[in-house]
Chains A and B, each alone.
Chain A
Amino acid sequence: MKPKHQRLVLVVLALAVLIGAVLLAIWGLRGQASYFYVPSDIASDPPETGRAVRLGGMVQEGSIQTLPDGVTVAFVVGDGKATVPVRYTGITPDLFVEGSGVVADGRLDADGTFVADSLLAKHDENYMPRELEDMSKEQAKAVVAETTAQ
């Protein structure tokens, strides 16, 4: 094989693998990316049961309950229009309080409860989950008002 041919073959093979990787990545991203929902999205068009999604909203006043095992909390997340019950087993983030913004990673179970694998709450006074910043204006205003007050 001439040197020029060898280079051509190498380039073609490398390109084929890289294009394969990109296609695979796109396919993976479509299947595996978890989409962001607010409670009213879940009310109008719920994600299929068991699919990984993120839920963002406000922890409703008076809704946080610790279950008898001492480590599972149940609470309700709302966005002013709809609410979703959430259950989370684990140590809650330090700034997880009623009336504050929260983003939960998890999935909807069969009875409509959102089972969270992890919770992101307001991180410090400067940081807020970005999804909450981009909620509709009045929601964002409410969240900002709640979460920036010390």
Chain B
Amino acid sequence: MIAEAGLALLWFAAAMALLQLFAAIMALRGGEGSSEYAGVVRPSAIVQGPLVALSFLMLMWLFIRTDLSVLLVAANSHSAKPFIFKLAGTWGNHEGSMLLWVTVMALSGSLVALVERRLPERTMIATLAAQAFVSLGFYAFLLFSSNPFERLPTPVPEGNGLNPLLQDIGLAFHPPTLYIGYVGLSVAFSFAVGALLTREVGPAFARAMRPWVLGSWIFLTIGITAGSYWAYYELGWGGWWFWDPVENASLMPWLAATALLHSASVLASRDALRTWTIMLGVVAFSMSMVGTFLVRSGILTSVHAFAVDPERGTFILALLTIYIGGALTLFGARASTVSEGKQFSLVSREAGLVFNNVMLSAILGIVLLGTLYPLLTEAFDTKVSVGPPYFNPVGAMFAIPMIVVMAVGPLLRWRRDSFDRIAKALILPAVLTAALLAGAVLLAPGIGLLPLLGLGLSLGLGVASILPLLGRDLRRTPLPTWGMVFGHLGLAVALFGMASESAFSTEKLVAANVGDVVEVGPWSIELTAIEPVAGPNWTALEATMTARYEDGAPVTLHPQSRNFTQPPQTTSESALSTRWNGQLYAVVGEEGLDGRWQLRLWWKPFVPMIWLGGLLIAFGGALSLLGRVLGDIRRGYQRRRIAMRRDERPHSRAVPEPAE
């Protein structure tokens, strides 16, 4: 019954989306009864959120109970799986994750319809029409080609289990985080379409869209950071970013969202970059659709490619074409009617933001081409793989100027400024960068060019990112400014971690007997024992290592080589020991014919800063979002009070609206 109820709720929600679209179109066409139609649009959007959320809870319930009469549960779960992974199993598969997509989408649609009152009503209706149009595509995808509630003709005695690589707490929450990010961009897209349709591209539109872009950007940042850490410790390869297509699929929307975020803030505070912001809104959502397509269609070879199903791929590709093609056509038709915004000079904060927007777009283009190139060549029967030798140097050519401008830009004033005014402030970061570069070349001549530049720039950017706070009253500094400082500082911290990891990592690969001592970097590690251990659904060989950092206290590490029973698979569980200045990373391999064990050990100085930086960036975003939302609430409250006063004294003079 639960499965049928879940499916019925989904159909009902889809019907409400159809109603929302129809009513919005009727309302926008004007004429007789258009205000009645307009009254239906918001409620039909609001009701979808709870409907789909309930449907998702039902699927969750089926997974918790391990109801083996449901195809999806039988294919992806197992009664002996730990509870948390039964729960996470709900979205650890194609159908469930698409239902999650739609759930987040419906909930955000409800929220927009419920709270957003600042835009002209016509623009809101056009926005909700776009939102309904996008939702309908996903409802159709879910109901026609990925029904999560399908029953089996006869229940099976036991389920197939979940891919052991996915049985990890980090990964359990990785996809939902990314999906929230993707879906937030679909809301931004709807706002852009709504503003374009009703020719209301201005600061009010940017202010309404900004929290959604910020929110989705925060989730994407956290999702990418978590995904990278997962790949780092779970795959046991010691790397933290592989330029894997699935990683790129999450990076591309992030790059577009970063650009959109910055151009939306120029539009909101300076009323410049109107068409550019609309364009980025379309691009950002396109990138999250491309991401979904790449991941869900199974078109790419990747450690992550679970779903292999061409029919679904075609469906998502069709959706992608309709949305993006439609949006670009609309953009082409309407872009010339968007009037120019305010001007700015070549040296101004706007100009800095425009420069970095272009750089971000260039990096986005490079990642996109690199990700799609293997698919293109495969159509001509040449198989290639594209990896770090392409992405690192080509991306860096645009990332490096971007980082330089990132250090300077926040110090510039809006509209017009001169370098003379800020030159003094920039001396310190410039000198530090130069000193570090010179020092590194003299003391550690073996470092590659990119890590070297990374180290220098991270130091300069780190210092420069704090400079906007100089001379300000810290208690009165607005939260969004703090957000910017933390965001930029976070990037500097992450960059330092990345550069340091690639410049200073040391690796040891040895075959060792129990009792042998291995030196790696400042560590000496003794292999003390290898013993079999067992978990709920796996058995493993576990090594015990006693590691000492220089003359410090010993630390014990337990890397494992795990054999999962359901489905049968072997994984390497790495063991980490984290210090303030880096991480020791240990993996145990097979027993050789001579009884020695293969050990792979890395000392990675400052590597945790990569993820710490990622979290700082997300924290900066959160501060900014909080500041914006609090500001909106305060202004809404003031407006209501003024309106109330006006009602009490209906014959008094009109009170002017407070300035934004």
A contact set with B: CB distance below 8 Å: 1, 3-4, 6-7, 10, 13-14, 17-18, 20-22, 24-26, 28-29, 31-36, 52, 54, 66, 69-71, 89-92, 94-95, 105, 118, 123-127, 129-131, 134, 150
Indicate whether A29 sits within 8 Å of B369 (C-beta atoms), given known contacts A71-B510, A94-B570, A125-B567: yes
Among B301, B511, B590, the most chain A Cβ lie within 10 Å of the Cβ of B301
Q: Which residues of B contact A35 (CB under 8 A)?
A: 382-384
User: In whole angstroms, what is the CA distance A90 to B587 when docked?
Assistant: 11
Among B305, B383, B398, B596, the most chain A Cβ lie within 10 Å of the Cβ of B383
Which among A7, A91, A105 is the interface contact of B590 at CB below 8 angstroms? A91
**B358 at the binding interface (Cβ < 8 Å):** yes
**B370 at the binding interface (Cβ < 8 Å):** yes
Interface bits B472-493 vs A (CB < 8 Å: 1, else 0): 0000000000000000000000
Q: Which residues of B contact A14 (CB under 8 A)?
A: 354, 358, 361
Dominant SS among interface residues on chain B: mixed
Which among A13, A25, A54 is the interface contact of B366 at CB below 8 angstroms? A25
Stretch with Cβ within 8 A of A (4 or more), from B182-190, B388-396, B612-620, B638-646? B388-396
Q: Are A29 and B589 in contact (CB under 8 A)?
A: no
**B31 at the binding interface (Cβ < 8 Å):** no
Q: Are A94 and B571 in contact (CB under 8 A)?
A: yes
Interface bits B213-242 vs A (CB < 8 Å: 1, else 0): 000000000000000000000000100000
**B156 at the binding interface (Cβ < 8 Å):** no
CB of B199, distance to nearest CB on chain A (Å): 17
Q: Are A71 and B387 in contact (CB under 8 A)?
A: no
User: In whole angstroms, what is the CA distance A26 to B366 when docked?
Assistant: 9
Q: Which residues of B contact A33 (CB under 8 A)?
A: 373-374, 377, 384-386, 390
Q: Are B386 and A32 in contact (CB under 8 A)?
A: yes
Q: Which residues of B contact A134 (CB under 8 A)?
A: 383
CB of A10, distance to nearest CB on chain B (Å): 7
Q: Which residues of A contact B561 (CB under 8 A)?
A: 94
Q: Are A34 and B384 in contact (CB under 8 A)?
A: yes
Q: Are B163 and A124 in contact (CB under 8 A)?
A: yes
User: In whole angstroms, what is the CA distance A32 to B354 when docked?
Assistant: 30
**B330 at the binding interface (Cβ < 8 Å):** no
In B344-392, the 8 Å CB interface with A consists of 354, 358-359, 361-363, 365-366, 369-370, 373-374, 377, 382-387, 389-390
Q: Are B385 and A124 in contact (CB under 8 A)?
A: no
User: Which residue of the partner chain B has the closest CB to A127?
Assistant: B305
Q: Can you add 8 more A-B contacts, CB < 8 Å, to A20-B362, A90-B509?
A: A25-B394, A28-B393, A32-B390, A69-B511, A70-B594, A91-B587, A124-B567, A131-B383
Interface bits B547-583 vs A (CB < 8 Å: 1, else 0): 0000000000000010000011111100000000000
User: In whole angstroms, what is the CA distance A119 to B382 when docked?
Assistant: 21
Q: Which residues of B contact A71 (CB under 8 A)?
A: 509-511, 598
Q: Which residues of B contact A95 (CB under 8 A)?
A: 570
Q: Are A24 and B301 in contact (CB under 8 A)?
A: no
Q: Are A91 and B387 in contact (CB under 8 A)?
A: no
Q: Which residues of A contact B383 (CB under 8 A)?
A: 35-36, 54, 131, 134
Q: Are B362 and A66 in contact (CB under 8 A)?
A: no
CB of B273, distance to nearest CB on chain A (Å): 9
Q: Are B301 and A130 in contact (CB under 8 A)?
A: yes
Q: Which residues of B contact A126 (CB under 8 A)?
A: 567
Indicate whether A24 sits within 8 Å of B509 (C-beta atoms), given known contacts A10-B354, A32-B386, A54-B385: no
User: In whole angstroms, what is the CA distance A91 to B237 when docked?
Assistant: 9
* Interface size class, chain B: 35 or more
Indicate whether A24 sits within 8 Å of B589 (C-beta atoms), given known contacts A6-B343, A29-B373, A33-B386: no
**B628 at the binding interface (Cβ < 8 Å):** no
**B57 at the binding interface (Cβ < 8 Å):** no
User: Which residue of the partner chain B has the closest CB to A38?
Assistant: B383
User: In whole angstroms, what is the CA distance A9 to B301 when docked?
Assistant: 42
User: In whole angstroms, what is the CA distance A39 to B493 when docked?
Assistant: 45
CB of A133, distance to nearest CB on chain B (Å): 9
Indicate whether A25 sits within 8 Å of B370 (C-beta atoms), given known contacts A18-B358, A70-B510, A124-B163: yes
**B8 at the binding interface (Cβ < 8 Å):** no
**B427 at the binding interface (Cβ < 8 Å):** no
Q: Which residues of A contact B373 (CB under 8 A)?
A: 29, 33
CB of B367, distance to nearest CB on chain A (Å): 9
Indicate whether A129 sits within 8 Å of B301 (C-beta atoms), given known contacts A26-B369, A91-B572: yes
Q: Are A29 and B593 in contact (CB under 8 A)?
A: no
User: In whole angstroms, what is the CA distance A115 to B561 when docked?
Assistant: 26
In B263-295, the 8 Å CB interface with A consists of 275-276
Sorted from nearest, which 3 A-B pairs have the closest CB atoms?
Answer: A70-B511, A91-B589, A36-B383
In B461-510, the 8 Å CB interface with A consists of 509-510
Which among B385, B393, B590 is the interface contact of A92 at CB below 8 angstroms? B590
Which among B340, B370, B389 is the interface contact of A7 at CB below 8 angstroms? B340
**B428 at the binding interface (Cβ < 8 Å):** no
Q: Are B569 and A70 in contact (CB under 8 A)?
A: no
**B111 at the binding interface (Cβ < 8 Å):** no
Q: Which residues of A contact B571 (CB under 8 A)?
A: 94
Q: Are B589 and A28 in contact (CB under 8 A)?
A: no
User: Which residue of the partner chain A has the closest CB to B564?
Assistant: A124
Q: Which residues of B contact A90 (CB under 8 A)?
A: 509, 600
